Every structure is written in structure tokens, then in C-alpha cells.
Amino acid sequence: MDRTAQLTARRTERELVYDPPRTKPSLHLRAARVLETNWTGTNTVPSRSLYPHQWSWDSAFIAIGLRHISPLRAQTELDTLLDAQWGDGRIPHIVFNPSVPLDAYFPSPDFWRSSTAGRAAGAPRTVQTSGIVQPPVHALAAWLVHCADPGLSRARGFLSRVYPRLAAWHRYLLHRRDLGGGGLASVVHPWEQGMDNSPAWDAPLSRITPAPARSFRRADLDHGAAEDRPTDLDYGRYVRLATDYRDRGYADGAGDFAVEDPAFNALLIASEHALARIAHELGATGTARHARAERLTAALVDRLWDPERGMFFCRDLRGGALIPERGVSGLIPLLLPGLPRDIAAALIRTASGPHFGLGDTTRLIPSYDLLGEAFDRHRYWRGPAWFNTSWLLERGLRMYGERERAGALREAVLELADTSDFAEYVDPYTGEACGATGFGWTAALALDLLHSDTSVSGTSVSDTSVSDTSVSGTSVMAGAAAKGGDQG
């Protein structure tokens, strides 16, 4: 090569290295940047502005996406959360970052007083947390994180470390939270179910005397429009419930709010199946956990299924009846592998029918009935579409052979995550961004769908596209986890 050609080649190399990119970065790269921006060194916050601490089910969903770019960080995400587990087995819904000012988020650590008010329930002394819980996605996340890099997981003893903690978490829910006596776990606060402001809570909350407005200051309104957030009246009731629960030492069973929720229990069942796979990997059979998941599925159908309306509904244990509000929670059980076929078919019809309009009037699944009196396309969980619920429904549609619908939903999630700048939630009709942008689980679940093997159908959400040899191969000595076998 002559001197002129060498200089030209070097100039081209320099341009590639130093010039700004001429095209928009890929969705994968931008999703990874969101997770990097929200990473604290030990966990990922949902949003740097609105949610500056670690949230329980957010971290589980985030770990599912993180496994594609750093299985080690995904393991660390779950380890950090589980390090804040209480002695009674509960995983708190918030783990507070002590470097964040108290007034950055409400309710703050000085409201929950976990280390003192939660002492009898075994709250940790070295970290401040909330005293309530969130949906149990954690075992499912742990299994998928393991499958992303089984060699790393085994070398670090990841599953043997998390299995006893996850088993204790499930024991807490199945024993301390079976407040209806029918085998299902109950939530004792709307925040526990994750869909905080759902119209399904309106009737149970109407019995609650709200805390005085002067007794608290809402930090969420500093970062979001009031018309998109819960009302002051609802917030006052949330604060009253949390205050009463705290003042009872976080003891379960005596509160005025107790609801069996279909999504919460569906995620518990999916995680029981995942725990069975983890147990198998650690040298036990897993059969007891699979059997328990089947019993829970039967209880879910028996207690929460409404055949006339074609979906599951919440049960108000204090009022004694199903709550007649169609929320996305009632569709989430589609992710379960053991549903009767007629129920799965009914759920698919309901999701694509006039109440939710999936694939017709809406592209992502709305959080509430489009025809309901309380529907509001922008207000928190009263109509907007969320990415985590669409991710769960996409998995369910694919498992029950609805590949075309699942594919369309997958493409909609990816497109709207892209165009909304990874919004917290979106208008179900237009895809307009609502809430925070750069939201952790939106970026993480977009990453997961980008990496999904869409050629495979008929697999459950607890499966993964990697080979099952990670389950059926040589067992790993698991220390304390192996001693417990697959018993809860």
C-alpha cells in the first residue's frame, strides 16, 4: 500500500472512532444505557428522579433483562434485595438507599420505622426498608438469571444462596398471608399488589378513613402531573393503612384491607414452578413444589374465576365477595401452564375483546376496562398500559399457541418502549409517554423481548430458551438449600 492509501485508511479509521454516530443508537444499546444510568453499584433504581430506591418487583423484572447484558449484575440485583429480607420471610417492597435525602420520596424510612416497628417480625437492623411486600416474581427471575449463565451461577453458588431465602418468602406468603383460608395469598395494602391505584381497590378502600392531608407530603407530585397520579383522597387512605399496619408491628390478619388478587397469586404460582426447577438443579426432585403450584392454580380458579365474564377478579375478604372491576390483573393468570384450556381461551377472548381491545383499539394491554366508569387513559393504573403486564401477557399468549397475537404484542412493546423513551407507562390508545421516562423495567423487559426466541411456542414463563440440561444435568451440592430438598 502506498503512502497516500495508508493515510486514507487511517483517516477512515479515525472517523469511525471519533466522529459522532450518524444513526440513532439501537434499541438494545439505549435500553442498556437506561439500566447503566439507573445502576447504583449494587442495584438498579426504577427511576433516578421519581423512584430513587430499590423496589422489590422492579428489581425482579430488571434482573430478567439484565441477564442478557451482565448475568453477574443480574445476580447482584437479586442478592441485594434478598439481603434486606425480614426474619419472618417477607421481602420488603422498598429497600432504602441511606444516601438519598428523606424528602426525596414519601413514605420515607422515618415513616416505616422498620428496624423498630418491625423488630418482632425480624426486620433487619442494618438497612431500612418498608414493611409491606410486592408481587413474588423473584424465584422466576432467579431461575432465568441462572439459565443466562449456568457456569457463572454454579461457580458463585447463586442458586444455593438464594433458594432458602426464596423458600422462606413463599412460606410467609402461603402461611402468614392466607387470610381467607382458601390457600391463596392476600395483600393487605394496594401498594403490595403493585397496581397501586386500580379501581379494584375503590370499594375496599372506601371503608378506610384517610389520614389527614396535613400529616404527610407527597413527593411524587414533584415529578409527575397531578392528573396522572392517585388523588389526595386515595393517598390519604394508603397512608392510613400503612400507618395502622406499622403500629401493629407489621402483624398480619387484623387490618381493614385484605384482598386476594389474581395477578399476585399467578406470579406466586409461576415462581413455585421456578422454585421446583431450582430445587431440581440443586439435587432435589422439585415434585412437591410442582404439586403445590397445581393446588394453588386450582384454588385460584375456584376462588377468583368468573366464567360468565371470562376472567379472574379480586376477592375482598372483608366484604366477602368478588370485586366486579375488570383490571389487567385478571388476565395475568394466562401465564400459568396448568390452566384449563377453556379458561385460557376465555382469557384470550377477553383480552382481545371490547373491554381491553388488544390488537384492535389498543396495542399494549390497558391496565383497566376500556368500558369501565373509572377508566382514565392517563391516571396511574386506571387505564394506562404498562410494559411489565404486557410482557407477562405476551408470554402467556405464546405459551397457549397464540403466536400471531404474541408477536404483535412483542412488536408493540418494543416499538413503544423505543418511541416513549422507555416510559413508565403509556396511553393505551396513542402510546403517549406518561410518568417517568428512562424507566428500569421498561428497558429491561424490552431487552428480554429483543433476546426472546419467538420461534418456540408452548413453553411457560418459567422456561427459558437455553437448554434444559441446566436442570437435568449433574446436580450441584447446595449446602443449606439441598438439605431442605424441594419442601417449602
What is the spatial distance between Cα 173 and Cα 488, in angstroms, rounded to a whole number? 11
Please compute, for residue 192, the number of CA atoms within 13 A of its CA located in the half-sphere on the CB side.
25
* Annotated catalytic residue within 178, 196, 232, 415: 196
Cα angle, residue 312 at apex, residues 433 and 241 outer, rounded to 5° = 70
Angle of helix 287-304 versus helix 262-281 axis, rounded to 10: 170
Nearest to 170, CA basis, from 228, 62, 89: 89
Q: Are the C-beta atoms of 88 and 122 separated by less than 8 Å?
A: yes
The string of DSSP codes covering 363-409 is SS-BSB-TTSTT--SSSTTSS-EEHHHHHHHHHHHHHTT-HHHHHHH
* Annotated catalytic residue within 424, 448, 463, 486: 424
Q: Which helix (H) or strand (E) holds 295?
A: helix 287-304
SS3 51: strand
Q: 321-353 burial string, b = 16+ CB within 10 Å, else e?
A: ebbebbbbbbbbbbbbbbbeeebbebbbebbbb
List beta partners, residue 311: 306
Clarify whether 424 is annotated catalytic.
Answer: yes
Clarify whether 196 is annotated catalytic.
Answer: yes
Length, in residues, of the chain:
488
CA distances from 470 to 207, 263, 282, 332 (A): 50, 28, 10, 27
- Which amino acid does the sequence have at 148? A
What is the spatial distance between Cα 296 and Cα 299, in angstroms, rounded to a whole number? 5
Q: Are the C-beta atoms of 161 and 477 separated by less than 8 Å?
A: no
CB atoms within 10 A of CB 33: 14
What is the spatial distance between Cα 153 and Cα 283, in angstroms, rounded to a whole number? 15
Phi/psi for 385 (5° steps) reads -95, 135
CA distances from 396 to 145, 345, 368, 392, 441 (A): 20, 11, 18, 6, 18
| DSSP 8-state secondary structure symbol assigned to residue 120 | G
With 0-12 / 13-18 / 19 or more C-beta atoms within 10 angstroms meaning exposed / middle / buried, residue 396 is buried
CA distances from 258 to 55, 180, 184, 318 (A): 22, 9, 12, 6
What is the spatial distance between Cα 179 and Cα 444, in angstroms, rounded to a whole number? 34
Q: Enumerate the active-site residues.
A: 196, 424
